[in-house]
A and B are shown apart, each in its own frame.
Chain A
Amino acid sequence: MAERAAVVGIGQTRYKTRRNDVSIAGLLREAVDRALEDADVSFADIDAVIIGKAPDMFEGVIMPESYLADALGAMGKPMLRVHTAGSVGGSTAIVAASHVQSGTFKRVLTVTFEKQSESNAMWALSTPQPFSVHLNAGAGGYFAPIIREYIRRSGAPDDVGIKVAVKDRRHGARNPLAHLQLPDITEQEVRDSMMLWDPLRFLEACPSSDGACAMVIAAEDSITGSKPPAWIRGVAMRSEPTMYAGREEVNPQAGRDCAADVYAQAGITNPRRDLDCAEIYVPFSWYEPMWLENLGFAAEGEGWKLTLEGATSLDAGGDIPWNCSGGVLSSNPIGASGMIRFAEAARQVRGDAGAHQVDGARLAMGHAYGGGAQFFAMWIVGADKG
């Protein structure tokens, strides 16, 4: 790459079930204003705006970017929308970073959002097609059989998902922006919660949230703000078809390839040892052990052991805390969820993560996946330029 780039500003809304007090434009503006303030810049200092969100039918507003240009200060500037399903928050950040790394722009504002309360995502994901039966099973109905197959082949005990659900909610209780605030959640409560999509219980699934996340990404000669920048040390995206014969759905090839690429850029040879923490897209509890293996933090079939040992828990003093912010299990404004992972990784290496800060974090990973686990986006950010 030609130019070094860094995150110099981060802004998020509080995540909650309904934001009836603001329009979509108002929701985005809240995150954007906070990111600009964090970077100590104004719209005049921004060269381009890169926006992302999940499918339009999640709000029922088609091409929302076309009426958001003024609210996002894009008058007279390039504006671009990215869409890669649930991974869009991550890939939007990467598109923004790439425009700075390539030397095209000096400073880019990037923002992602979802206002799930305005429509019905479950319905929007279930448009009838004649070559498939219409079973109304939603996202959980798609991923539950894949999780069942993971449990079968790994022989993981049935409480692994429960432990992840408790851990991420306790992490979330440290983060005042998190949607779910469940500081006293217990394993028994999770176990007793309704089985929605066997083997996934209600408390093992993510909430539906309204919210937005924004970042300012700047070139090395355009760094601003009083906080340390989070240097972007590697970015990678991969995709693969949802369905092909012999597809490895539990441990997708695209995820493994994407991780290998981003680690090579950042000089990481052992992610568990080399990284200080990670923000990984875990919308259903069992995806923690599955992604621990897919991303090379554990050998195949052994991810669940890290979870049970407490290795991924900030509260247990684990060596590789995952989702200290509470993760997708605590807040899920879908289009923004990937960018929140990327932004929270940056907050950690800036030493600006408040009560969910990992002491001395220098190198962190942000991760997002989307569609039928077919789109992957990852970045590594560091306190050092590398």
Chain B
Amino acid sequence: MSEPLADVTGIKAPVYLKYRFTAGSAPARFLCRLKEGVLTGQRCPRCSNVYIPPRGSCPACGVPTEDEVVLSDKGTIQSFTIVSIPIPGNPIQPPYVVANIVPDGANISFIHLLSECVNEEVHIGQRVQALWKPAEEWGHAMDNIRYFRPLDEPDVPVERIGKLPVTGLEG
């Protein structure tokens, strides 16, 4: 008579995924300028909105975008959350602030880390600026910017968030 087998309800079968990312011409150009420490966007010829990162077309109008615009690394907080959830393997220690930031000169936000701030004092309309890594560490990636940090400038009124020129609130 054979020995009874232990119950097995599952096994670990890790999945690894490596892929070669084809950015497309507009994001490739964006990433190349990013490697030089410059944030760029593209302006829609129809609605005039400036997109970052540019995808080569306006998602609202469906037309090609070709006009490149150099943007500021200063921006405004459109909204944010304070992340406290512990995630295994996360290199960032909670609690940390993830903010939707609109850089001056653009009409859409991207998410980035906010640091050197009092989490409880972060607010919509607050002015922030990028803290870049040392230039020798720059690659084709948004984490060339280590994080954003508060800037000592007046808050932007809600109705003007996402509409500032590249010269900022006073421009």
**Distance, CA A265 to CA B158, complexed state (A):** 38
Q: Do residues A132 and B79 form an inter-chain contact, with CB atoms below 8 A? A: no
The secondary-structure label for the interface of chain A is: loop
Residues of B within 8 A of A149 (CB): 78-79, 124
**Distance, CA A136 to CA B85, complexed state (A):** 10
Which of A119, A129, A137, A246 is in CB contact (< 8 Å) with B83? A137
Instruction: List A residues 89-134 near B (Cβ within 8 Å).
Output: 118-119, 122, 127, 129-134
Q: Which 4 A-B pairs have the closest CB atoms?
A: A145-B79, A245-B49, A144-B81, A241-B59
A244 contacts the other chain (CB 8 A): yes
A182 contacts the other chain (CB 8 A): no
Give me 17 A-to-B residue pairs in the complex whose CB atoms sit less than 8 angstroms apart, sorted by A's number: A20-B9, A57-B15, A60-B15, A130-B21, A131-B27, A131-B141, A131-B142, A135-B113, A136-B83, A145-B99, A148-B79, A196-B83, A197-B85, A199-B81, A241-B60, A245-B44, A245-B162
Q: Do residues B58 and A133 form an inter-chain contact, with CB atoms below 8 A? A: no
Q: Do residues A197 and B82 form an inter-chain contact, with CB atoms below 8 A? A: yes
**Distance, CA A200 to CA B83, complexed state (A):** 10
Interchain nearest-CB distance for B137 vs A (Å): 14
A198 contacts the other chain (CB 8 A): yes
State which size class the interface on A falls in.
35 or more
Give a binary string over B25-58; 1 marks a CB under 8 Å from any A CB, 0 the rest. Answer: 0010011000000000000100101110100001
Q: Do residues B9 and A148 form an inter-chain contact, with CB atoms below 8 A? A: no
A361 contacts the other chain (CB 8 A): no
Q: Do residues A243 and B113 form an inter-chain contact, with CB atoms below 8 A? A: no
Which of A118, A129, A133, A195 is in CB contact (< 8 Å) with B113? A133
**Distance, CA A241 to CA B61, complexed state (A):** 11
**Distance, CA A96 to CA B66, complexed state (A):** 42
Which of B49, B53, B98, B145 is in CB contact (< 8 Å) with A246? B49
Interchain nearest-CB distance for B131 vs A (Å): 13
A264 contacts the other chain (CB 8 A): no
Residues of B within 8 A of A244 (CB): 49, 58-60, 108
